[in-house]
Structure 1
């Protein structure tokens, strides 16, 4: 047996060695095939075959100084043609350019374009052309020039609809990567704000940039973010939701483990806490990692109002979360198993309203909740002009008709309405969706086991939340594990002059946020 095991080990090692050598030889051949040729027409033939049936990709032959052969490739609609004609073609075709045979000399003396880079392979040229940057290839040169003249239609900066505030900045991210980076640069004007980029998607070639503040972020977190992003291999990435599903820790958890936002101020505040912001080209939603459960229930406006108001609103929000999760299940449990908990007058009133209802409380609650969710989803998908009217009128009409026909009781309509309003108070849509999703198993548990089922459901949720991590950070931090200093920004919103420490995420680097002794004191400085 030992001899056979040894033979199998040797065979597997031999197969691995052969596979490794084949892979290396294939990589070397690909590198040789992808290298640009010194013959400009050979490069043109390869690129034209690559972009066959692509009439929007333009190939323009011209002579540099009426002597040197060259050609220009750009994508119509993605390149700035006016700047290309004025600052590239016109100076290169002048007679005095003939004496310039070196690409570096051409770059320094003739091209009045701020961003130019060398291109050494066919693959690089294809990527630049597809991204909107024109490429110039010159005869007898083994590398070309890419010009930063990409230009396309972009949406104006507007206030995010899903994260509106009464007091706070009104700008929001857009679908353009460079604009989003600029918005963060406006918030944090420090050279310590660093960024790294990579490309994901075999066909979409989507550019992804993750940003962090050097000296605040923990480098173990940076390495983990880079490793998770770099191992993504998919044909296309069209939205940051693709990336979120690939890099989260627990994909089968109903709770989101990565925060997404359209607000630059939320992203900037997360950077200042040592988090990493991931920006995906083509979407206004940026990702923030790591995150905690309490971050999903906090709004940016909590920090712009006075701390007493922020604390009050935060506590109201926690109460609304409990109502959105537990009110329908509590109603079902009390009516089904624990009628003695209701006062006699209220019990008689509820019993009278349910006298004509043919369904038990559990089925009644599920029907009403599904109807409310359908109306809410229809209101989201319909055009804005009619969406709100349909959702409000539909809820009123259907609720009144259901009560009049005896299918549901009036108290159940009130419970579902209060639950829906409470779920609207949750600032993050994905967190609200998780609460709405858990509402149904909680109702089933209440309908089968009563209050005992509700307690078992709550314990199951708490145990699950204690096992969830976001890039290694406990999901219930800073409550579990308990961190006294960081509790100032969890259950309450302490005044800014007392928030001296940054939250500990994955390291202890640069924990001091501000100097000590900044509490307002009118007598300070008069002594």
Structure 2
């Protein structure tokens, strides 16, 4: 037994000296074209979508080469017109050239495609070809040329389906990072709009890009975003939700601390306020950090409408959120502990309705809430053509049948229905889900201690929200801590001409957004009744 532990210790020490068991030796390309092509076929399992086109360089054809690409991920016409034809018909490629000279000639003259890179390591080669690039291998040189030929079928730019707005742009992000970044650049035509790209995921090698306005976004926040992304070591990134869960400040919360949207104008507006956008290839949802609680109740069209209309709508959204949060809990507390707070006529009607119901109000509410959650989930998961029909008809039939069977009272059906509609009216789906979960906590508190329990639960909720941070920024700011200069863009929305400065917590130095005198000045009438400018 002792000798076994000694052997294990010596093996561990030898691994430490040699760099560890997981340290791989760098594999370089071979000089032989046949060996390189054979290695590609073996590593890809002779997959049918890996195209290897063997050819001879120049019009005489004395030098052998190969073009490797993945079918469906490249622009085939580009490969035919700018790679294959140039390599096979260029008279400058002849047998007197060395392989190094041939590669140099291909790079400088023969191939007219941007983004040519010379690669020597197999890891770089496979990463390039799987990303949609075409590889050019020449016999006699241990290098490969990677040409930018990404293409294939992609979804076109369409209207947003989740962040719907009456007024504003109808464009939404797609699954392509290049297209999404270009859409932002069309809105913000400034050289200070910087992007940084990296690959995350040992298997998927997903393209992830961050975008920010240099000189506006705080460098501390940008560096924090950069460091959190670089710390991620995972096998796959399939959607931006993976990134969101791996970079958020606190995981033990139902509230989102990372904002996501599929609207380019919303991302552009947040970038102008000093935030950082994170693009993940393969998803139309872009992440924006830092995120504030009040941000999830705002819409892009709030800034396209008059300030009084936008303020009224924001008040309505906050009221809707509270209904979706405490609607059933108020009914439970009032009917169980505080009947004196209900008007006498209404109390008599509610008592008459609940006379035949065998369950207390809490159990009655739980039954209806769980039923509505099942119907809601069924409506989402079922095919689009029948999903809405099933949810609406199911709610009407089940609600009516439950009332007639005496399982629930009509008042409870009305309360739960209003609560469900209110949860749909919340602008952010992530916050709506949080309200749906916390609603059960308020229902339990109301069934236990009445309104006193609800007040206690509400205090705990406020304390929890005040403890959250998003990339170092307090989640409830600018209300907690109170920043009077920034309260004008929270529940209220001050006039557009009053947005003189950017949020102090997000911006480094460039805080001024507009000139001082931007308030509209109507023409002043002269004594004769004519009009003249003020």
TM-score range relative to shorter protein: over 0.9
Check if 1:97 corresponds to 2:90: no
Aligned-partner Cα distance in 1 for 2:34–2:22: 26
Counterpart in the other structure of 1:275? 275
Change in Cα spacing, 1:77 to 1:307, as seen in structure 2 (3 Å) is: same
Deviation string 1:178-230 (CA, Å, 9 cap, x unpaired) is: 11111111111111111111111111111111111111111111111111111
How far off is 1:132 after superposition?
1.3
How far off is 1:465 after superposition?
0.5
Change in Cα spacing, 1:185 to 1:476, as seen in structure 2 (3 Å) is: same
Deviation string 1:401-426 (CA, Å, 9 cap, x unpaired) is: 11111111111111111111111111
Q: In 2, are the aligned partners of 1:290 and 1:505 still within 8 Å (CA)?
A: no
Q: In 1, are the aligned partners of 2:75 and 2:149 still within 8 Å (CA)?
A: yes
Check if 1:79 corresponds to 2:77: no
Aligned-partner Cα distance in 2 for 1:462–1:15: 55
Instruction: Describe how 1:256-267 pairs up with structure 2 within 5 A.
Output: 256-267=256-267
- Structure 2 gap segments, 5+ residues each: 1-9, 525-531
Check if 1:109 corresponds to 2:109: yes
Q: Residue 197 of structure 2 aligns to a residue in which SS?
A: strand
Q: In 2, are the aligned partners of 1:330 and 1:451 still within 8 Å (CA)?
A: yes
Aligned-partner Cα distance in 1 for 2:207–2:51: 23
Instruction: Describe how 1:379-418 pairs up with structure 2 within 5 A.
Output: 379-418=379-418
Aligned-partner Cα distance in 2 for 1:226–1:332: 48
How far off is 1:82 after superposition?
2.0
**Which 10-residue stretch deviates more, 435-444 or 64-73?**
64-73
TM-score normalised by structure 2 residue count: 0.92
How far off is 1:459 after superposition?
0.6
Aligned-partner Cα distance in 2 for 1:317–1:155: 33
Counterpart in the other structure of 2:445? 445
Counterpart in the other structure of 2:6? none
Aligned-partner Cα distance in 2 for 1:213–1:349: 61
**RMSD in angstroms over aligned alpha carbons?**
2.0
**Which 10-residue stretch deviates more, 420-429 or 46-55?**
46-55
Aligned-partner Cα distance in 2 for 1:357–1:509: 64
Q: Residue 488 of structure 1 aligns to a residue in which SS?
A: coil
Q: In 2, are the aligned partners of 1:334 and 1:450 still within 8 Å (CA)?
A: yes
Deviation string 1:41-77 (CA, Å, 9 cap, x unpaired) is: 3322322221123121111222222122221111111
Check if 1:49 corresponds to 2:42: yes
**Which 10-residue stretch deviates more, 191-200 or 80-89?**
80-89
Counterpart in the other structure of 1:67? 62
Aligned-partner Cα distance in 1 for 2:258–2:466: 16
Counterpart in the other structure of 1:7? none
Counterpart in the other structure of 2:19? 23
Q: Residue 355 of structure 2 aligns to a residue in which SS?
A: coil
Q: In 1, are the aligned partners of 2:501 and 2:514 still within 8 Å (CA)?
A: yes
Counterpart in the other structure of 1:3? none
Q: In 1, are the aligned partners of 2:273 and 2:506 still within 8 Å (CA)?
A: no
Aligned-partner Cα distance in 1 for 2:269–2:441: 36
How far off is 1:89 after superposition?
1.2
How far off is 1:391 after superposition?
1.3
Instruction: Describe how 1:180-195 pairs up with structure 2 within 5 A.
Output: 180-195=180-195
TM-score normalised by structure 1 residue count: 0.93
Aligned length: 511
Aligned-partner Cα distance in 2 for 1:325–1:393: 25
Instruction: Describe how 1:106-185 pairs up with structure 2 within 5 A.
Output: 106-185=106-185
Q: In 2, are the aligned partners of 1:220 and 1:506 still within 8 Å (CA)?
A: no
Aligned-partner Cα distance in 1 for 2:13–2:502: 49
Aligned-partner Cα distance in 1 for 2:46–2:32: 24
Aligned-partner Cα distance in 1 for 2:20–2:186: 45
Counterpart in the other structure of 2:366? 366
